[in-house]
Structure formats: structure tokens, C-alpha cells
């Protein structure tokens, strides 16, 4: 919905996801609070934008998606690169807020993060480090540094641990390392083999298996389906949102309206005053044929907006 503002996008989602018994005033207040929590207070009334229209940045769009998912405070939240497009300060504020909400609401957050800063890395309780489909390390994030040190890859002083981990297991530049280094250095491929073997050793694998067995024994609370808005409310909200989007989309609504007016004037001029003679029957049939064909062809102009809606529908998880 590129024509929607940040406030409108989150509020429409709040109307659909939050319980129907919640008053509209509370839904709007809750949506505004979540937007401010994600650091988007200054961009509330800015349109999201798209390929043809200018709007918020890519990092802000990702935060809008996080806002939509945080509305209902889910028990399990998956985040795919939530800090991409953000500077280190914004990344820390976003992730620290998510961590605070998760601790307060009892949420489990699984996030895939590339090159986190030291402050962001310290927010994670557990770390799963993957290298080309293989598990290099899985356990408490505070134990990762010791694991790399014991495996022969200690983190240099004053270096961000996450940078050291990723640099150690990135084998995209192994050939350059071998050619440029005078002394024999272990390549990333060799480092991955050493680390995966160390992780699969009894000293670490038994801890993981014990933890899994402990989690299985805990069990969980019975699952309860989350209350949402009713069918009539969803129908009204989606219809209203669609009309607002079409009204603001110049290419979808206004340009097509201008084309229709132009075609109407042309056809009216060409077939002006046909009369009621026998020969005018063919002309009237041509008018009907042209009008029907043009309306059919012009309907294809709505496909781009339909495709955008489909992308949004498939990019968001179904509730």
C-alpha cells in the first residue's frame, strides 16, 4: 500500500488484528504507541511510497512491518534482518525495544541479523551461527567467544565478537587469503570444519541434547486462538482501504478516468448524429463493439495494483 501513510497502514492492520470488542479509540492509541516505540514518530504522516512514488526509506519500511507484527504482542516473533538499512544507533534502539517488550510480554524472538554491532549482539541470549548450511555454534551468546578461543580462533582485543565470528567462517575470499598471506593461515573452509567438529564433540553436543530434553519436559500452555475482528469489520476495513488506495493512486484511478473521458469524446465525435435509418444499424453495432472492447482492455490497467496487493498478502504471515 504505497499510497498509505505509516499511521494509516498500522491503524488499518490494528483494526483487522485486534479484538472487535476493543474500542476504535484504543486501537488508534495502541497503533500510535507502537509506531513511536519503533522510532517512527516523525514519519507517522509520511506515505510509505513505492517504485513510482517517493516515501519512507527501506529501513523505515521494515520497521513498519515490525510495527504491524508487534501490534498483537505474539508469543513467537520471527524477524528477518530487522536492522538492515539502519545505522548502528537506530539498530540498537529498535532491537533493545523489541528485547524489552519480549521480556515484559513473555515473547520468544527469533531474529536473523547480519553484522550486528557489539551493543546489539549483547542483547541476544542465545546464538545460532550457521555457515553454508552447517551449524557452527548454538548456545548462549556469552559462550561463543570461549568456544572460538578453545577451537583455536580467539577474538582479537577490541574487536567486535560478531565481526570476528563472521570473518572466521566466511570462505568467499579464501583464495585471496592464501595468495596474499606469506605465512600459512587457515582458510575459512578449514575453520568451518574445525568449528563444526568441535561443536559436535560430546562437550557441546551433550549440553544441547540436555537442553532439548529439558524443554520437552517443560511442556507449554494450551494454545488459544487469538481473537480478531469479525467478518463484517474486516470487509468494511478492507473495502475502505482499497477505495482510499485507488483514490490516491494517480495511475490507477485518475489517469484511467482521463483516458475514459478522452475515448468517450472521440467516439461521440465520430459517431455523432447517426440517425435512425437502416444504414445506421451497422454504425451502432460498431459503437457497442468498440465500447465493450475498450472497457475490457482498460480493465487490464488494474492488474499492477492487484499484483501489489498479492505481494503484500503473501509477504505477511496469515493469522
The answer to whether residue 179 scores a pLDDT higher than 50 is no
**Residue carrying C-alpha cell 523489541:** 98
Average pLDDT over residues 189-216: 81
Q: What is the pLDDT, as a whole number, of residue 177?
A: 45
Q: What pLDDT, on the 0 to 100 scale, is given for residue 1?
A: 67
Judged by DSSP in three states, 47 sits in strand
State yes or no: pLDDT of 181 exceeds 60: no
**Of 117, 75, 127, 125, nearest to 94 (Cα)?**
117
At residue 305, the pLDDT reads 66
174 has pLDDT over 70: no
Please give the average per-residue pLDDT across 52-64, as a whole number.
79
Q: Residue 190: CB partners within 8 Å, gap ≥ 6? A: none
Cα–Cα separations (whole angstroms), residue 150 to 77, 122, 276: 33, 21, 98
Q: CA of 192: how far to CAs of 169, 183, 196, 202, 260, in Å?
A: 6, 20, 6, 18, 64
- Residue 226 — pLDDT band, cuts 50, 70, 90? low
- Report pLDDT for 223: 55
Of residues 67 and 299, more confidently modeled: 67
Digit-coded pLDDT (tens) for 260-316: 888 888 888 888 887 777 777 888 888 888 888 887 777 776 666 667 667 666 655
pLDDT tens-digit profile of 1-12? 678 888 998 999
* DSSP track, the chain: -TTSBHHHHHHHHHHHHS-TTS-HHHHHHHHHHHHHHTT-GGGTTSB---SSS--S-HHHHHHHHHHHHHTT--SEEEEESTTTT--HHHHHHHHHHHHHHHHHHT-EEEEE-SS--HHHHTT-SEEEEEETTEEEEEEEGGGHHHHHHHTT-PPPTTS-HHHHHHHHH--TTHHHHHHH-SS----HHHHHHHHHHHHTSHHHHHHHHHHHHHHHHH--PPP-PPP---HHHHHHHHHHHHHHHHHH-IIIIIHHHHHHHHHHHHHHHHT----SSTTHHHHHHHHHHHHHHHHHHHGGGGHHHHHHHHHHHHHSPP-
Strands 126-131 and 108-112: unpaired
Q: Which of 33, 14, 114, 24 is nearest to 72 (CA)?
A: 14
pLDDT band (50, 70, 90) for residue 182: very low
pTM of the complete model beyond 0.75:
no
User: Tell me, what's the pLDDT at 173?
Assistant: 64
Q: Within 10 Å of residue 91's Cβ, how many Cβ atoms?
A: 21
pLDDT of residue 170: 82
Question: Which of these ranges, 193-197, 241-245, 303-307, has the smallest mean pLDDT?
Answer: 303-307
Amino acid at each position: 500500500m504505497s499510497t498509505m501513510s505509516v499511521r494509516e497502514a498500522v491503524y488499518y492492520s490494528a483494526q483487522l488484528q485486534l479484538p472487535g470488542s476493543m474500542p476504535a479509540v484504543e486501537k488508534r492509541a495502541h497503533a500510535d504507541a507502537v509506531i513511536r516505540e519503533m522510532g517512527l514518530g516523525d514519519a507517522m504522516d509520511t506515505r510509505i511510497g513505492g517504485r513510482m512514488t517517493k516515501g519512507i526509506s527501506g529501513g523505515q519500511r521494515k520497521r513498519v512491518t515490525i510495527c504491524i507484527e508487534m501490534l498483537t504482542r505474539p508469543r513467537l516473533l520471527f524477524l528477518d534482518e530487522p536492522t538492515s538499512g539502519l545505522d548502528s544507533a537506530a539498530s540498537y534502539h529498535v532491537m533493545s525495544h523489541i528485547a524489552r517488550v519480549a521480556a515484559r510480554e513473555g515473547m520468544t524472538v527469533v531474529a536473523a541479523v547480519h553484522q550486528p554491532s557489539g551493543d546489539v549482539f549483547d542483547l541476544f541470549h542465545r546464538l545460532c551461527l550457521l555457515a553454508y548450511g552447517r551449524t557452527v555454534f548454538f548456545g548462549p551468546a556469552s559462550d561463543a567467544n570461549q568456544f572460538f578461543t578453545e577451537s583455536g580462533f580467539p577474538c582479537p582485543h577490541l574487536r567486535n565478537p560478531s565481526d570476528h565470528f563472521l570473518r572466521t567462517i566466511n570462505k568467499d575470499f579464501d583464495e585471496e587469503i592464501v595468495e596474499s598471506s606469506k605465512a600459512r593461515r587457515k582458510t575459512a573452509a578449514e575453520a568451518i570444519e574445525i568449528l563444526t567438529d568441535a561443536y559436535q564433540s560430546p562437550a557441546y553436543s551433550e549440553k544441547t541434547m540436555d537442553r532439548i530434553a529439558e524443554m520437552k519436559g517443560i511442556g507449554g500452555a494450551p494454545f488459544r486462538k487469538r481473537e480478531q475482528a469479525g467478518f463484517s469489520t474486516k470487509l468494511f476495513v478492507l473495502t475502505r482501504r482499497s477505495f482510499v488506495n485507488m483514490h490516491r493512486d494517480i495511475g490507477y484511478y485518475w489517469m484511467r478516468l482521463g483516458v475514459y473521458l478522452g475515448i468517450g469524446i472521440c467516439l461521440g465525435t465520430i459517431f455523432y448524429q447517426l440517425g435512425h435509418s437502416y444504414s445506421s444499424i451497422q454504425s451502432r453495432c460498431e459503437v457497442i463493439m468498440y465500447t465493450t472492447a475498450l472497457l475490457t482492455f482498460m480493465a487490464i490497467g488494474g492488474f499492477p495494483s492487484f499484483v501489489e496487493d498479492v505481494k503484500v498478502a503473501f509477504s505477511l504471515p496469515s493469522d
